[in-house]
């Protein structure tokens, strides 16, 4: 189990690649009586709606998938037309702070 492996290092937080992975981590922590966020924080990426109904509710980084898709498509069209790619500082990300994260002392 990856969660068990990670916990050997006594982390104060686990950040998962996706919110769906976080759900598995939250379940593992609950089954092993590890309190989130009192003993460990958990956060993910994706901004999926399921995070708003998990227990505790999940802190996540949400993506504006539509905007990212439009900018990607425009970049491809620009390349086809022989234009260079513009550097874009707008990452279209939003931190959604919920119950699964807090400062651990």
pLDDT for 86 equals: 76
> 2-63+92-96: which CATH number, 3.30.70.270, 3.40.50.150, 1.10.1740.10, 3.40.50.2300?
3.40.50.2300
Q: Which residue has the tokens 């950040």?
A: 15
The reported pTM is 0.82
**Is the peptide bond preceding residue 38 cis, with omega within 30 degrees of 0?**
no
Per-residue pLDDT tens over the stretch 81-99:
999 877 776 768 999 999 9
pLDDT for 40 equals: 97
Q: Encoding tokens for residue 103?
A: 């400062």
What is each CA distance from 28 to 2, 6, 34, 46, in whole angstroms? 10, 12, 9, 20
Per-residue pLDDT tens over the stretch 44-82:
999 999 999 999 999 999 998 888 888 889 889 999 999
What residue spans define the domains of the chain?
Answer: 2-63+92-96
């Amino acid at each position: 189990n990856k969660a068990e492996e990670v916990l050997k290092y006594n982390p104060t937080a686990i950040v998962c690649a996706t919110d769906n992975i976080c759900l598995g981590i939250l379940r593992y922590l609950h089954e092993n009586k590890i309190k989130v966020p009192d003993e460990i924080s958990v956060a993910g990426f994706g901004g999926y709606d399921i995070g708003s109904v998990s227990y505790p509710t999940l802190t996540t980084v949400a993506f504006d998938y539509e905007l990212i898709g439009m900018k990607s498509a425009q970049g491809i069209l620009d390349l086809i037309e022989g234009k260079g790619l513009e550097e874009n500082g707008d990452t279209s990300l939003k931190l959604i702070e919920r119950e699964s994260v807090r400062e651990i002392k």
